Amino acid sequence: MSPNERALMPAYLQSRSTSSSAIATPPASQVRTIGEWEELQGFLITWTNYQSMLKEIVRYAKEETRVYIVCSNATTVINYLAANNIDTVNVTCMQVPYNSVWSRDYGPWSAYTNDVDSLLTIEWIYNRPRPLDDAIPGLIATQLNTPFYETTTAPWNLIHTGGNFMTDGFGTGFSSNLVIDENPSKTEPEIDSIMNRFMGINRYIKMSPLPYDVIHHIDMHLKLLDEETLLFGEYPTGVADGPQIEANMLYVLNNFNSVFGTPYKIVRIPMPPDNGQYPNTNGDYFTYTNSSFINKTIIVPTYNIPQDTTALRIYRDALPGYKVIGINSTASIGALGALHCITKELGTSDPLLISHQPLPDTYDDVNPYFVAALMKHRSGILNGILFYRTDTLLPYQSIPMYQGFNPTDWLADIPAQPVGTTIYYYVQGQSVSGKQQVRPMPAPDGYWKFKVLGTTGLSYNATQIELNPVFPNPSKGITCIPLYSAQKQIVKIVLKDVFGRDVAKILKEKHLLGTAVTLLILKKFLQVFTLLSWLQPLIFRQKLVVR
């Protein structure tokens, strides 16, 4: 916020009332907020600053879904697009007032009753005193003809911002602690309750803000690629927000599993420098995580630097079959936002939900490979089909899926394959009403894959363990101690002050074997000291030899 906006914010919050078309109490039925990779019926932008970026968003988004452009003059927008060889097929211009370009932060959220039934539009109180922006979700709800819910009236009033929220589509939400800081009259359980009742978030993961990300929006360093895969930005060791990002990542990994009950998968992507400078040395906050799904396309911010090629390759490797489009975002990044910040997805009105945990690599070349997919549609699921192949140049073979004991579970078996085979597969569902859907979204060009591996041997050449440097250092909150053990052994770690006195026993008589363990020092221990530089790693590095 500008200084003027900071002065206006208290009065704005007092004057903020529920829109005439809105419902200020929670939906009567349990709701499910969509994951960004689900099917969209629309994509929202506001036509103001950064038109060089906005036109490219329109160019690619209109090929996937209808683009809604909030603007002050539709003719001006249409002429600008035409001058850049972009027609307005699948484009709707909405001439309505606005304050800013940041549609992610003030835009609407799409949710469904009973997972896949009626589409709802949800809005929070925008965390900026910008009443015209705050009114846009209600206009979108009218445009899409959906019920409109607002968190504006006590006890359900909640201030929030879209760049600081992501969800896996199954009740887990992610934010920084900014959401707590901006609602000082609410306890954390009260915030969680509002998010549960309005958006179906039953597990709300909150992380420490980053020192150099002034706005504390998680989309500047984190992206959910699917229900179990987290894309984290990565700085060089010890640079800028790198230590806190690593601490946040380890906090999530050590305390939460994915909706499938298994650890989250982590994909890392560079946080590149701005002409050699990082945010801690006054460089702009270049980030590649600030991307947006648009059905079978994902748009990724680029900066006309060599690292762009690496970032786009990482996305293509992680999301086979998706059209990965880089859009130069140097125009907006100085204002701490890129593509995700200026776009907002609008869920389909007729969802056919499919969720599947991809099969991991296996050593089994004897038994079939069991595939299970959740499929839901309001009319019911008529059938499911699994498609697989062992060579991308061969056609897919199809296997009818059968219904499990739970009618939303659809199952199939891929025949066993010899060692060295890579299996590529996807699933398709058809509803009783006739709608078809596939996962991954860009199938058959997109697919999941796994390998049938041979036997691998491991050997260890010593009995030591490794204690890596503590991070972040210094710290105001969670501090991580990375500990690695090559063999099963008893380990004790004691926290000492600068005089050598014991402060706390962190780990005692713990049997460790061939795994990475991250230990957390709680905040109450950190009150004893300012720096952790006195903590000396007295244990030697262990080498792991893989044959």
Task: Report the chain (547 residues): mean pLDDT per 10 consecutive residues.
Answer: 90 86 94 98 98 98 98 98 98 98 98 97 96 96 97 96 98 98 97 98 97 96 98 97 97 97 97 97 97 98 98 98 98 97 98 98 95 98 98 97 95 97 98 98 98 65 63 69 68 69 68 50 39 32 31
Task: Express each pLDDT in 290-304 by its tens digit.
Answer: 999 999 999 999 999
Q: What CATH fold (topology level) applies to the domain 3-347?
A: L-arginine/glycine Amidinotransferase; Chain A (3.75.10)
**Across the strands, what pairs with 300?**
326
Q: How far apart are CA 148 and CA 341, in angstroms?
A: 22
pTM given for the model: 0.85
How many C-beta atoms lie closer than 10 Å to residue 75's C-beta?
A: 10
Which of the following CATH numbers is that of domain 353-451: 3.40.47.10, 2.60.40.10, 2.70.150.10, 1.10.3720.10?
2.60.40.10
Per-residue pLDDT, 457: 43
Contact 311, 270 (CB under 8 A): yes
Closest CA to 69 of 103, 99, 93: 93
Q: How many residues does the chain have?
A: 547
Sign, CA torsion 45/49/51/57: negative
Per-residue pLDDT, 459: 41
Sign, CA torsion 249/199/33/377: positive
Amino acid at position 294, single letter: I
What are the b/e assignments for 194-221, b being 16+ CB within 10 Å?
A: bbbbbbbbebbbbbbbbebbebbbbbbb
**Boundaries of CATH 3.75.10.10 in the chain?**
3-347
Amino acid at position 303, single letter: Y
Cα-Cα-Cα-Cα torsion 345, 265, 482, 507, nearest 10 degrees, comes to: 110
**Boundaries of CATH 2.60.40.10 in the chain?**
353-451
Q: Is 53 helix (H, G, I), strand (E, B) or coil?
A: helix
Per-residue pLDDT, 503: 73
How many C-beta atoms lie closer than 10 Å to residue 130's C-beta?
A: 20
